[in-house]
């Protein structure tokens, strides 16, 4: 038997999953080893091999999602980086967009630039937006700048000159000068990292590539060494923020693509599930201890965003307020994140209104019921009071629970001041947490012109399956799907992904009067590059698939929409698809004579596996039989109901709620009025009645 | 706490839902707008009012629109009363009947359920151009409203779902870039459509009666939070005075701003009596804008969780006599009144800094500087480039002022240089921080920047609205004033200074250089951590000379602080100076 292994490192836990080619699914949750992340993987895998009864030699691929790169940014522990810019523009990186993420906050501090001003040097040169050289590169000045940075002891250099996407000659020349003066120094040219217009976004992205490169490189080398020491010689691939995989060597060269790898993996897992189960439209919902994230899958394709910010924090009320964190313009899975998780604190504001989050008790001290010193109730405490969570222990008995402490905290801090019974207050907190998370779902659906009622909700993460049915009902959604091993599903998702290459180029042309041959030539060049990169990774031509896309807008608009097109599709097709997409997203389109322009071209290349990556049906290991039933509270309408507690396998025949399905890594709640069953792939499906609103 | 006859949980859910709709409206405008000024500067707002016109929920967008909607909607209701039908959409921009300045076009859509008006959706957008004598419609040197562009009283843009053709044609003929204006009006309409659909869902879920009750409660709730927060602030009365250099018409004639803040128990008064009479130049505020400035300043010292609605306003009384800069009357020109609004927020912060010395800092750069470049190509195609920019916060009692950051009153973004160059006949040749311009202090003022624009078309009009050339950003508790703003023009190799507010004809190859003022400093510069002085010196923001002169810090050629020499120098400085001023006001020659 051969196995594929997924390892997802989170802040608190490292999740490990192994799937055999016959569909056996084995999981392991171990504490993350801060500072030496690879150790938890190697040790956890050894335990997993042991328990599941296979050897390292049977593993054919290791797939990995890591927070190493994002932590280096957040903790300012990246490489000492120098930046070379066009003379007069060295502060673009620090000035950013001037925008603040919070209003009315006198204590606001801008994030410190990843390259301090004295390591940012300007060089005399100028290229205009048409790519014409207006001022030739001052070679001596460039050499002096590189030498000055080397004297400062930089470990990496980023180069970002104005309009280099239109003509990279000066950037390339500076790259050559660096290579000559310091042959081993990692260099990121903006034209290689992000050949697109907008100097701030390109500078920030290029600098991040330089800043995290040496850190990620060291980490990957150490990890590969550790894995080999454990007898694991299988190739190591990393998850990109876009949801595609990338070989470790490629990730070391373009680390900017693997910054947000963990959250992407869960959505890719949901996409694989959607394809198998025949659900073309799915909203993925991933809720852990501190945050909840929603993503959208439409016609079996994940929605992607062109940019995001690391450390921007959670969406507090509004997605409008940008300016936080460190901006990256790379393809990523479009996720909306809110600060709601099992650890979110329940509190009363100054006017006495109940609130949930965004402050969290975190993993330590954690909820009141963990007995580690926290006294302010959390969402998990509410779920304990409501009887949804096991009142004695979680994680298969590894985590003891003090239900009385939860109840006392909810009663004292929330219920008494509000004049409610403890279970009423707990139920209220559960609903408020759900309504906060509903904003994340709306952000990826109704705010994008998509009606959530036409989607199924695929819920995972340690807490997702507890809230999914209630949220779906509130949104008028009809179907919820809970995959096997939902608590470690992001690691499962790693195993479902393909190798991907995303390419993008600024290419501004009016659509009206556009020469079809020019469009074809420009996009064919990108296709060719994607093919050659995948070929270099060992994919034969027959196992390479490419998709073309373009971003367009009405001339004068400052926001673009992406549409796909095929080889041979001309400008008319682009204009028509853009109009339709504009109508779908915003509810209106301009007249046919309104000028439309192409802003950029993209190509997504996929390296396809020789056989399906995921077996059709997953068989998780057996879980110990839980207690038969316990009382659970379902709001004033239902009150306390004696609720059966089942293992997943017991749903072989459909059963009506209320039900609780208890598993090693998570608990799933089926409210009254819903019906749960198992589909042919091991998923729990929950059907909801038609909602009242 | 008020008695409740409703479910507190359901109320919280309702509150989430209605603010989520206001934000969804704002996102719709954001995504579908045509103009960069709208998108990058977020110069728009969206909100819900109840059927009677009370502001229930405003999205988190432009602070300077906070408080403008009730006045505008009141003008519509005064004129139309019950003559509002399903499918009507009202429009206005007249500053003397509900508006703020002409580029801000308000759209209101009443929402009906079973034939009864249940709410009114509102959007405001700053439009690229509404006609008048200068492209961009924001000249600071107009002297009466009639020069500033198309003035729209409260009218029906749509009547029972049908467009009003007369009004559409009037707008189309009176603006320079009708494609952009109608594109942005479409964005506003799209936001209203979304609001209507979502609000009807809300009513279907909660019922009409509970919806109204919850909207009432949302106002009371905001008021309770505000009053609870005000109770925690000290009682008393504080005054502050500052000056705008001039209005650009009566050049060199200072314009006083005077504010009195009174806080008693759970209420607050912001009184602008004593502020200059209204001026000739286009910097006169409507009363609504003066209120926005007060609401923004006070929100900044209150907890952040107070909902944005009329309940918050109830605890704050704003006074501004008619016929003053703070409350202009016909025919006051007001297109560039943004300047006055920013400076009123700063002036109010000056008073609040006395009330809350541990929270509020020195003056920043005075808010955004407006740069408009417009004209026609030889083929008579119009171009308009509008850039509002600012950079520096004042030093704070706990930290330096932010460098390269928007003013509190308008959370704006700078346009991309590469995009500007691709779309406009302009080349940006420099955009970087200016050394030795920040007010010195234990916590120094924020760093300003310069921006240089080279003009590439044959001919055009450059119009600039800057200030803080004469009256510099003030420092507090011994902190120094920030450096003044400057404008320069280089033509045919000769560089000359320009006034702070002007409108000139540009020719091909002209280079305009803008220098933003520096933030004022907070606290004794000799008490600044020498390591921070070293950091700034290393980064080229503070020269070695200024490190010695302003901070008494001696830095060695190897980039280290010479501790001994620094102590000696600082001791000398302390001995040789008088007591530190509480407020450092400087007036440049």
pLDDT tens, residue by residue, A580-625 = 988 877 767 877 888 899 999 999 999 998 877 777 777 766 666 6
Asked if A318 lies within 8 A of B23 by C-beta distance, the reply is yes
CA distance B504 to A641: 78
Its domain, for residue B40, covers 8-225
Residues in chain A within 8 Å Cβ distance of B181: none
Asked if B404 lies within 8 A of A586 by C-beta distance, the reply is no
Interface of A with B in 77-96 (CB under 8 A): 88-92, 94-96
Q: What is the pLDDT of residues A620-649, one digit of tens each?
A: 666 666 678 999 999 999 999 999 999 998
Q: Are residues A210 and A86 in the same domain?
A: yes
Task: Please indicate, yes or no, if residue B67 is contained in any of the structural domains.
Answer: yes
Task: Please indicate, yes or no, if residue A88 is contained in any of the structural domains.
Answer: yes
pLDDT number for residue A625: 60
Mean pLDDT of chain B, nearest integer: 93
CA distance B304 to B310: 16
Task: Please indicate, yes or no, if residue A457 is contained in any of the structural domains.
Answer: no
Its domain, for residue A150, covers 77-216
Smallest CA–CA distance, residue B312 to chain A, in Å, is 13
Q: Which residues contact B123 (CB under 8 A, 6 or more apart)?
A: B25, B29, B44, B45, B46, B47, B106, B107, B188, B191, B192
- Please state the domain count of chain B: 2
Q: What is the pLDDT of residues A171-223, one digit of tens each?
A: 999 999 999 999 999 999 999 999 999 999 999 999 999 999 999 999 999 99
- Give the closest residue to B409 by CA, choosing from B499, B485, B298: B298
Q: What is the pLDDT of residues A243-279, one digit of tens each?
A: 999 999 999 999 999 998 888 899 999 999 999 999 9
Structure confidence at residue A312 as a pLDDT band (50, 70, 90): low
Q: Are residues A513 and A601 in the same domain?
A: yes
Of A100, A108, A428, the CB nearest to B9: A428
Task: Please indicate, yes or no, if residue A615 is contained in any of the structural domains.
Answer: no
CB A626 within 8 A of CB A645: yes
Count CB atoms within 10 A of the CB of residue B489. Answer: 17
Q: Is A317's pLDDT higher than 50?
A: no
| Residue A344, beta-bridge partner list | A360
Of A98, A446, A557, the CB nearest to B406: A98
Task: Please indicate, yes or no, if residue A409 is contained in any of the structural domains.
Answer: no
Structure tokens at B154: 């409260």
Whether the upstream peptide bond of residue B331 has omega within 30° of 0, thus cis, is: yes
Three-state SS across B531-556? HHHHHHHHCCCCCHHHHHHHHCCCEC
Q: Which residues contact A18 (CB under 8 A, 6 or more apart)?
A: A3, A4, A5, A6, A24, A25, A26, A27, A48, A52, A54, A59
Cβ of residue A422 closer than 8 Å to a chain B Cβ: no
Cβ of residue A416 closer than 8 Å to a chain B Cβ: no
Cβ of residue B586 closer than 8 Å to a chain A Cβ: no
CA distance A97 to A84: 19
Asked if A320 lies within 8 A of B59 by C-beta distance, the reply is yes
> In CATH, what number is assigned to the domain containing residue A33?
3.30.420.40
CB A472 within 8 A of CB A465: no
Share of chain A above pLDDT 90, in %: 64
Structure confidence at residue A74 as a pLDDT band (50, 70, 90): confident
Structure tokens at A219: 């980490």
Of A92, A320, A428, the CB nearest to B60: A320
Residues in chain A within 8 Å Cβ distance of B39: 558-559
Task: Please indicate, yes or no, if residue B352 is contained in any of the structural domains.
Answer: no
CA distance B573 to B567: 10
Residue that terminates a domain, selected from A557, A586, A607: A607
pLDDT number for residue A321: 57
Structure confidence at residue A323 as a pLDDT band (50, 70, 90): low
Cβ of residue A317 closer than 8 Å to a chain B Cβ: yes
Q: What is the pLDDT of residues A139-175, one digit of tens each?
A: 999 999 999 999 999 999 999 999 999 999 999 999 9
Q: Is B508's pLDDT higher than 80?
A: yes
Cβ of residue A123 closer than 8 Å to a chain B Cβ: no
Q: What is the pTM of this model?
A: 0.92
Task: Please indicate, yes or no, if residue A177 is contained in any of the structural domains.
Answer: yes
Token pair 């009067």: residue: A513
Of B20, B225, B419, the CB nearest to A439: B20
Which residue of B lies nearest to A432 if distances are taken between CA atoms? B13
Cβ of residue A99 closer than 8 Å to a chain B Cβ: yes
Structure confidence at residue A34 as a pLDDT band (50, 70, 90): low
Q: Are residues A189 and A158 in the same domain?
A: yes
Q: Is B42's pLDDT higher than 60?
A: yes
Q: Is B3's pLDDT higher than 50?
A: no
Q: Are residues A591 and A531 in the same domain?
A: yes
Structure tokens at A565: 């097109």
Which residue of A lies nearest to B451 if distances are taken between CA atoms? A88
Cβ of residue A194 closer than 8 Å to a chain B Cβ: no
Q: Is A40's pLDDT higher than 60?
A: yes
- Give the closest residue to B315 by CA, choosing from B298, B292, B300: B298
pLDDT, greater one: A155 or B81: A155
Q: Are residues A100 and A10 in the same domain?
A: no
Cβ of residue A622 closer than 8 Å to a chain B Cβ: no
Token pair 């209507």: residue: B196
CA distance A150 to B446: 30
Mean pLDDT of chain A, nearest integer: 90
Smallest CA–CA distance, residue B573 to chain A, in Å, is 29
Q: Are residues A228 and A208 in the same domain?
A: no
Task: Please indicate, yes or no, if residue B549 is contained in any of the structural domains.
Answer: no
Whether the upstream peptide bond of residue A358 has omega within 30° of 0, thus cis, is: yes
Structure tokens at B567: 């102590």
Q: What is the pLDDT of residues A523-552, one digit of tens each?
A: 999 999 999 999 998 899 999 999 999 999
Q: Are residues A508 and A598 in the same domain?
A: yes
Share of chain A above pLDDT 70, in %: 95
For testing contact with chain A, the best of B3, B6, B9 (most A CBs within 10 A) = B9
Task: Please indicate, yes or no, if residue B334 is contained in any of the structural domains.
Answer: no
CA distance B380 to B375: 9
Smallest CA–CA distance, residue B250 to chain A, in Å, is 32
pLDDT, greater one: A568 or B111: B111
pLDDT number for residue A318: 45
Q: What is the pLDDT of residues B306-347, one digit of tens each?
A: 888 999 999 999 999 999 999 999 999 999 999 999 999 999
Q: Are residues A45 and A31 in the same domain?
A: yes
Residue that terminates a domain, selected from A572, A591, A607: A607
Q: Is B145's pLDDT higher than 60?
A: yes
CB B525 within 8 A of CB B550: yes
Task: Please indicate, yes or no, if residue B272 is contained in any of the structural domains.
Answer: no
Task: Please indicate, yes or no, if residue A201 is contained in any of the structural domains.
Answer: yes
- Please state the domain count of chain A: 3
Asked if B17 lies within 8 A of A435 by C-beta distance, the reply is yes
Q: Are residues A92 and A41 in the same domain?
A: no
Cβ of residue B404 closer than 8 Å to a chain A Cβ: yes
Structure confidence at residue A692 as a pLDDT band (50, 70, 90): very low
Q: Is A389's pLDDT higher than 90?
A: yes
Smallest CA–CA distance, residue B360 to chain A, in Å, is 7
Q: What is the pLDDT of residues A338-347, one digit of tens each?
A: 888 899 999 9
For testing contact with chain A, the best of B4, B31, B361, B539 (most A CBs within 10 A) = B31
Of A110, A320, A350, the CB nearest to B27: A320
Of B16, B205, B411, the CB nearest to A103: B411
Asked if A317 lies within 8 A of B23 by C-beta distance, the reply is yes
Token pair 């990890």: residue: A223
Of B303, B389, B432, the CB nearest to A91: B432
Count CB atoms within 10 A of the CB of residue B477. Answer: 23
Residue B219 CA: distances (Å) to CA of B123, B214, B311, B315: 20, 9, 4, 11
CA distance A159 to A205: 11
pLDDT number for residue A114: 97
pLDDT number for residue A322: 64
Task: Please indicate, yes or no, if residue A332 is contained in any of the structural domains.
Answer: no
Q: Are residues A168 and A242 in the same domain?
A: no
Q: Are residues A8 and A22 in the same domain?
A: yes
Task: Please indicate, yes or no, if residue B214 is contained in any of the structural domains.
Answer: yes
Of B34, B412, B449, the CB nearest to A556: B34
Task: Please indicate, yes or no, if residue B252 is contained in any of the structural domains.
Answer: no
Smallest CA–CA distance, residue A481 to chain B, in Å, is 25
Q: What's chain A's length in residues?
A: 693
Q: Are residues A107 and A46 in the same domain?
A: no
Task: Please indicate, yes or no, if residue A353 is contained in any of the structural domains.
Answer: no
Task: Please indicate, yes or no, if residue B160 is contained in any of the structural domains.
Answer: yes
Q: Is B352's pLDDT higher than 50?
A: yes
Count of H helices and E strands in chain B? 13, 22
> In CATH, what number is assigned to the domain containing residue A593?
3.30.1490
Asked if B411 lies within 8 A of A110 by C-beta distance, the reply is no
């Amino acid at each position: 038997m051969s196995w594929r292994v997924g390892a997802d490192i989170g802040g608190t836990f490292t999740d490990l999953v192994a799937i055999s080619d016959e569909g056996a699914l084995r999981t392991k949750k171990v504490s993350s080893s801060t500072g030496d992340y690879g150790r938890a993987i190697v040790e956890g895998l050894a335990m997993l091999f042991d328990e599941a009864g296979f050897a390292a030699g049977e593993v054919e691929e290791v797939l990995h999602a890591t927070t190493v790169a994002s932590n280096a940014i957040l903790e300012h522990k990246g490489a000492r980086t120098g930046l070379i810019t066009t003379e007069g523009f060295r502060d673009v990186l620090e000035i950013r967009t001037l925008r603040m993420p919070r209003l009315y906050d006198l204590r606001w501090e801008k994030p410190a630039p990843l390259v301090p001003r004295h390591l940012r040097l300007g060089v005399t040169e100028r290229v205009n937006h048409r790519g014409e050289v207006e001022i030739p590169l001052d070679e001596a000045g460039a050499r002096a700048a590189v030498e000055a940075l080397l004297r400062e002891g930089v470990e990496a250099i980023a180069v970002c000159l104005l309009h280099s996407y239109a003509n990279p000659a000066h950037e390339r020349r500076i790259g050559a000068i660096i290579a000559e003066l310091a042959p081993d120094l990692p260099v990121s040219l903006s034209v290689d990292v992000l050949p697109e217009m907008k100097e701030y976004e390109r500078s920030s992205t290029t600098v991040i590539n330089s800043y995290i490169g040496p850190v990620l490189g060291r980490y990957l080398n150490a990890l590969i060494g550790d894995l080999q020491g454990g007898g694991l010689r299988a190739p190591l691939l990393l998850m990109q923020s876009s949801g595609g995989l990338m070989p470790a060597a490629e990730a070391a060269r373009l680390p900017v693509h693997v910054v947000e790898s963990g959250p992407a993996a869960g959505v890719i897992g949901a996409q694989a599930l959607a394809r198998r189960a025949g659900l073309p439209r799915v909203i993925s919902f991933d809720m852990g201890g501190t945050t909840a994230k929603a993503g959208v899958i439409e016609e079996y394709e994940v929605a992607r965003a062109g940019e995001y910010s690391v450390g921007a924090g959670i969406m507090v009320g509004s997605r409008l307020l940008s300016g936080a964190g460190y901006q990256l313009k790379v393809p990523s899975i479009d996720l909306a994140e809110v600060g709601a998780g099992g650890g979110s604190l329940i509190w009363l504001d100054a006017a006495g209104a109940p609130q949930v989050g965004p402050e969290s008790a975190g993993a330590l001290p954690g909820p009141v019921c963990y007995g580690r010193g926290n006294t302010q109730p959390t969402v998990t405490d509410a779920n304990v009071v409501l009887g949804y969570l096991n009142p004695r222990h979680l994680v298969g008995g590894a985590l003891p629970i003090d239900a009385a402490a939860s109840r006392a905290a909810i009663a004292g801090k929330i219920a008494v001041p509000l004049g409610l019974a403890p279970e009423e207050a707990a139920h209220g907190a559960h609903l408020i947490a759900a309504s906060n998370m509903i904003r994340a779902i709306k952000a990826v659906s109704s705010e994008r012109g998509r009606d959530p009622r036409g989607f199924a909700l695929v819920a995972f993460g340690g807490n997702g399956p507890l809230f999914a049915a209630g949220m779906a009902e509130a949104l008028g959604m009809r179907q919820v799907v809970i995959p096997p091993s939902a608590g470690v599903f992001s690691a499962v998702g790693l195993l479902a992904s393909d190798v991907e290459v995303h390419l993008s180029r600024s290419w501004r042309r009016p659509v009206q009067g556009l020469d079809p041959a020019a469009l074809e030539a420009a996009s064919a060049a990108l296709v060719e590059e994607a093919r050659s990169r995948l070929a270099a990774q060992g994919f034969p031509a027959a196992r390479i698939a490419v998709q073309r896309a373009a971003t367009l807008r009405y001339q004068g608009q400052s926001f673009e929409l992406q549409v796909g097109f095929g080889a041979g599709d001309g400008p008319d097709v682009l204009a028509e698809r853009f109009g339709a997409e504009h109508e779908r997203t915003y509810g209106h389109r301009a007249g046919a004579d309104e000028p439309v322009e192409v802003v950029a071209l993209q190509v997504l290349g996929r390296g396809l596996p020789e056989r399906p990556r995921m077996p059709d049906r997953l068989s998780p290991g057996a879980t110990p039989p839980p207690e038969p039933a316990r009382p659970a509270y379902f709001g004033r309408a239902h009150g306390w109901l004696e609720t059966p507690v089942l293992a997943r396998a017991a749903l072989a025949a459909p059963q009506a709620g209320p039900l609780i399905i208890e598993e090693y890594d998570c608990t799933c709640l089926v409210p009254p009025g819903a019906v749960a069953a198992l589909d042919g792939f091991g998923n729990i499906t929950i059907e909801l009645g038609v909602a009242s609103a | 706490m008020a008695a409740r006859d409703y479910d507190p949980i359901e109320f919280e859910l309702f509150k989430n839902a209605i603010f989520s709709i206001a934000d969804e409206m704002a996102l719709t405008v954001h995504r579908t707008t045509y103009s960069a000024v709208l998108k990058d500067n977020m110069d728009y707002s969206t909100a819900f009012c109840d059927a009677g016109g009370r502001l229930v929920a405003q999205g988190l967008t432009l602070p300077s629109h906070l408080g403008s909607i009730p006045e505008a909607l009141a003008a519509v209701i005064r004129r139309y009363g019950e003559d509002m039908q399903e499918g009507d959409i009202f429009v206005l921009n007249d500053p003397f009947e509900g508006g703020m300045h002409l580029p801000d076009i308000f759209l209101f859509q009443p929402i009906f359920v079973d034939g009864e008006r249940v709410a009114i959706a509102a959007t405001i957008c700053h439009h690229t151009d509404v006609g008048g004598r200068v492209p961009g419609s924001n000249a600071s040197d107009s002297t009466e409203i009639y020069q500033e562009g198309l003035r729209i009283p409260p009218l029906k843009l749509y009547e029972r779902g049908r467009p009003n053709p007369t009004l559409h044609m009037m707008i189309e003929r009176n603006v320079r870039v009708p494609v952009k204006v109608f594109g942005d009006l479409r964005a506003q309409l799209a936001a209203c459509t979304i609001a209507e659909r979502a609000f009807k869902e809300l009513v279907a879920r909660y019922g009409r009666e509970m919806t109204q009750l919850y909207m009432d409660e949302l106002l009371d709730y905001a008021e309770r939070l505000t009053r609870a927060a005000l109770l925690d602030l000290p009682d008393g009365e504080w005054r502050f005075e500052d000056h705008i250099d001039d209005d650009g018409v009566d050049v060199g004639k200072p314009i006083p701003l005077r504010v009195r803040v009174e806080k008693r128990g759970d209420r607050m008064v912001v009184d602008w009596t004593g502020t200059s009479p209204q001026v000739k130049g286009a910097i006169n505020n409507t009363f609504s804008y003066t209120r926005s400035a007060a609401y923004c300043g006070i929100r900044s010292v209150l907890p952040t969780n107070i909902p944005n609605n009329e309940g918050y306003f109830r605890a704050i009384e704003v006074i501004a006599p008619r016929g003053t800069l703070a409350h202009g009357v016909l025919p006051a020109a007001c297109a560039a009144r943004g300047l006055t609004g920013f400076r009123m927020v700063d002036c109010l912060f000056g008073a609040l800094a006395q009330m809350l010395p541990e929270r509020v800092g020195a003056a920043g750069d005075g808010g955004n500087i407006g740069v408009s470049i417009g004209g026609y190509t030889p083929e008579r195609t119009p171009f308009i480039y509008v850039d509002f920019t600012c950079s520096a916060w004042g030093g704070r009692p706990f930290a330096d002022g932010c460098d390269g950051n928007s003013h509190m009153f308008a959370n704006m973004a700078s346009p991309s240089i590469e995009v500007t160059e691709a779309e406009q006949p302009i080349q940006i040749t420099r955009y970087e921080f200016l050394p030795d311009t920040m007010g010195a202090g234990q916590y120094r003022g924020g760093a300003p920047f310069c921006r240089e624009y080279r003009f590439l078309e044959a001919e055009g009009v450059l119009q600039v609205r800057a200030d803080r050339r004469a009256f510099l950003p003030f420092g507090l508790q011994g902190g120094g004033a920030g450096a003044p703003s400057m404008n320069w023009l280089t033509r045919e190799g000769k560089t000359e200074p320009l006034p702070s507010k002007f409108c000139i004809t540009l020719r091909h190859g002209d280079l305009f250089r803008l220098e933003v003022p520096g933030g004022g400093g907070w606290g004794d510069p000799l008490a600044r951590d020498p390591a921070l002085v070293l950091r700034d010196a290393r980064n080229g923001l503070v020269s070695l000379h200024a490190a010695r002169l302003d901070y008494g810090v001696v830095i060695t050629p190897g980039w280290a602080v010479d501790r001994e020499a620094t102590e000696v120098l600082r001791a000398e400085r302390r001995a040789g100076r008088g007591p530190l001023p509480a407020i450092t006001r400087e007036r440049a020659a």
